[in-house]
Chain A
Amino acid sequence: MGRISYFFKVKHENGTFANAREAIGFIPWYFNLPADLPKYAHQWNQLRDTTGFNAAWGITTAERRHPLFRTHGSGHGCEWDGPLWPFATTQTLKALSNLLTHYKNQGNMTPKIFYDELYKYAQSHQMNGKLYLGEYQDEKNGEWLKGDNPRSKFYNHSGFADLIISDLVGLKPRADDILEVQPLVPPNQWEWFCLDKVVYHGKSITILWDKTGKHYRKGKGMRIWVDGKEIFHAKNLGIVKVKI
């Protein structure tokens, strides 16, 4: 890279763009920034393209078809040539959740895709079968590029819990006294789940789904409790907005 180093060169001084698609291109949806138009939503199709960002162990940080993909990483410093970076995955998955929750135009994205990518992400938080989170990861075999190097070992760069609470189960933080839940759990994916004891606006929230009612023995369907009092019940998983 010579003596002049840089983080990104997405746009050159003469106005032309770098010729690589990078996962940072999904970050605008993290902030619900892009206009709700088909042409912007269409870029999400790259997510599941195996020559785009889709790899066995997760979402790469640069498109895999680029000739310089994974060609000049050192294994010592910062790796900006495309391996998995767990924090970038958190950003992309949050952006995808926003696309699926707040946009009409969603390209070919679905809650099932969100679920599958989040599942893959969960599986990637490991080393030799034990829970682990490092800095950069090989997209094909899950190997941590810095091995057990302390800089990587203590990186702890993942918003995994937030993706489960606010996106998969879908508890959306709000300033007012409305409790909003927009689950991205695909229909028929799970027979049951429970998110328990979430402290929210000084109250304790429980969100539960039990298709048959037999698992938790609290009855069938989707139910919500606030400080132990049931305030919502519906047959199916869906969008909830209730006053608390």
Chain B
Amino acid sequence: MYGNAVALAQMAALIGNDTLHSKYQQKAVLLRQLTHNNLWDESATFLK
């Protein structure tokens, strides 16, 4: 999902569509934040 959002943001930038670029850019930022906040197991020091 993160990979798709990043790719879609880049594709939108290529065709100069600012609205779509910012939409998928925001999705990517959110998904990245959620991964860091939810899937990092501090006691195992490992992403799960």
Residues of A within 8 A of B (CB): 10-11, 17-19, 21-22, 25-26, 28, 30-31, 33-35, 39-40, 42-43, 46, 175
Nearest-neighbour CB distance to chain B for A180, whole angstroms, equals: 15
> Can you name 8 extra interface pairs (CB under 8 A) apart from A25-B46, A34-B36, A46-B46?
A10-B48, A11-B38, A17-B48, A25-B48, A31-B6, A40-B40, A42-B45, A43-B46
- Interface residues of B, Cβ cutoff 8 Å to A: 2-3, 6, 10, 14, 32, 35-36, 38-41, 44-48
B32 to chain A, nearest CB (A): 6
| Majority SS at the chain B contact face | helix
Nearest-CB distance from B25 to chain A (Å)? Answer: 14
Q: Is the pair B45, A39 in contact by a Cβ cutoff of 8 Å? A: yes
CB–CB A21/B10 < 8 A: no
User: Does B48 contact A43, Cβ atoms closer than 8 Å?
Assistant: no
- The CA-CA distance from A25 to B35 in the complex, in Å, is 11
- What is the bound-complex CA distance between A28 and B6, given in angstroms? 13
Within 8 Å CB of A43, what residues of B?
45-47
**B6, B35, B44, most chain A CB atoms within 10 A:** B44
> How close is A49's CB to chain B, nearest CB, in angstroms?
12
